[in-house]
Amino acid sequence: MAKLLLVEDEPAHFALYKRFLAEDGHEIMGAQCGEEAITMAKRFCPSVVVLDLVLPDMDGMEAISRLLCECGQPKIVINTGYESFRYNFRCWGADAFVVKSSDPSELRDKVRQVLKPSFEQGTGRDKRN
């Protein structure tokens, strides 16, 4: 299927999300901090980056900006425990927003959604244009 970069610094959350996302046949790579995520995204060109916003080394909004500018504009799914980030304009560069839950079904659904070609979503064009 697709290459996914899962950026999550909590090992238990990483294991849970990786298991659910791998069920769809995706190749899952992991990063525990923003710098590692940027390096891996440059090297492996993931189709989707699943990004926690609270990272040990950088602000998640900085990570979004750098991923979009330096890494070929991958699709980004924000996966955070803080609903308030949804209203931060710096997060609007992401393709989807999910509030963390013990049930990762919504995360898996959002990843599926952003991987669909835009014409299947009824837009007929790329949503970034």
Structure tokens given for 36: 């590692």
Sign of the CA dihedral with 66 first, then 69, 74, and 75 last: positive
- Residues 36-64 pLDDT 10s: 999 999 999 999 999 999 999 998 889 99
Tell whether 107 is covered by a domain: no
Q: Which residue has the higher pLDDT, 91 or 123?
A: 91
In a domain, 101, yes or no: no
In whole angstroms, what is the distance from residue 38 CA to residue 94 CA?
15
> Can you tell me whether residue 75 is helix, strand or coil?
strand
**Per the domain annotation, does 20 fall within a domain?**
yes
Total domain count for the chain?
1
Please state, rounded to an integer, the average pLDDT across all residues of the chain: 88
Domain assignment present for 44: yes
13-23 pLDDT, tens per residue? 999 999 999 99
The neighbouring-strand residues paired with 31 are 7
pTM: 0.86
Q: Which domain holds residue 16?
A: 1-48+59-66
